[in-house]
Structure 1
Amino acid sequence: MRIHALPVDVVERARKLAGTDEFHELRGESVGAPLRCCLRKAGVGEPVVLFRYSPTAGRGPYEELGPVFAHMLPCGGPDQSHELPEALRHSPRALRAYGADGRIHDGGVARPEELTEKIEEWLSHPEVTEVQVRSASHGCFLFAVTAD
């Protein structure tokens, strides 16, 4: 499994636009916000940018757009890319499995203890190229997972 945070170019663009329009909100801090740049939760005193993002896996009628948080200042990204981020595993997560054509293959909600197993199960299907992990309560994109 390979875990994908937001692409660096997407985060850099959001940082440049922070506070300049209605789609890139600069926040002094949002303690506990799930950061999509480094896949951990925001701490005290960390400025963040809140902006809209649509992952590329879902296309056409399957495209989903939602709010995401990232550090306002460069953070170095995730510590690793082969294990699900511990900070984002403590709640049920909505999962969406997509094929290369951008169509949804399957979807559902996984409890924290079954998250890895469900993702690996979907990635074992030859037609699935990516599984998106989202907030079950708000539907916001958290990170994507592909096979190694």
Structure 2
Amino acid sequence: MRIHALPTDVVERARKLAGTDEFHELRGESPGAPLRCCLRKAGVGEPLVLFRYTPTAGRGPYEELGPVFVHMLPCDGPDTVHDVPEAFRHNKRTLRAYDADGRIYEGGIAQPEELYEKIDELLNNSNVVEIQVRSVSHGCFLFSITAD
């Protein structure tokens, strides 16, 4: 499996637009906010950008728009791209699997202890090209997963 944080160009654009319009809010800090640039939780004193993002997998009526946080300053990105990031393994997660046409093929909620099993089941289906991992409580996009 391959884990995908937000694309670099999306993150760079959000940083440039931070505080310039109603869609790119500059936050002094939001400790614990899930960061989509490096796939960890924000620490104390880290300036962040909150903005609207639409993941690429869903298209047409399946396209979703929601809020995401990234670091205001450049970061090193995720520690790993082949394992679910540590910060996102310990809560229930919504998994939405998309086909090549951008339609939701399957979805569900995975408990922490079954997260890897559910991801493998979805990735082993030839109709699935991408999985979106989302927060159960807020529905926010966290990261995507594709087969290696």
* Ranges in structure 1 where 5+ consecutive residues have no aligned partner: none
Q: Secondary structure at 1:16's aligned position in 2? A: helix
TM-score if structure 1 supplies the norm length?
A: 0.99
Could you tell me which amino acid in structure 2 is paired with residue 141 of structure 1? Answer: F
Q: Distance in 2 between matches of 1:40 and 1:113?
A: 19
Q: Indicate the percent of aligned positions where both proteins have the same amino acid.
A: 79
- Root mean square deviation, CA, Å: 0.5
- Secondary structure of 1:127's match? coil
Please give the secondary structure, in 1, of the residue aligned with 2:10. Answer: helix
Q: C-alpha offsets along residues 60-119 of structure 1, whole Å, 9 cap, x if unaligned?
A: 000011000000000010011000001111111111000110011001111111111101
Per the alignment, residue 88 of structure 1 pairs with 88
Shift of 1:2: 0.2
For the residues of structure 2 that align with 1:64 and 1:114, how far apart are their CA atoms? Answer: 25
Q: Aligned AA for 1:26?
A: L
Q: How far 1:120 sits from its partner (Å)?
A: 0.9
Post-superposition Cα deviations, 1:7-43, rounded to whole Å, max 9, x if no partner, equal: 0000000000000000000001000000000000000
Q: Which runs of 4+ in 1 moved over 3 A?
A: none
User: What pairs up with 1:1-148 in 2 under 5 angstroms?
Assistant: 1-148=1-148
In 1, distance between residues paired with 2:75 and 2:113? 28
User: What TM-score comes out, normalization by structure 2 length?
Assistant: 0.99
SS of 1:46 mapped into structure 2: coil
Aligned residues: 148
Between the aligned partners of 1:130 and 1:140, the Cα distance in structure 2 is 16
Query: CA offsets, 1:107-140, max 9 Å, x none?
Result: 1111111111101100101010000000001100
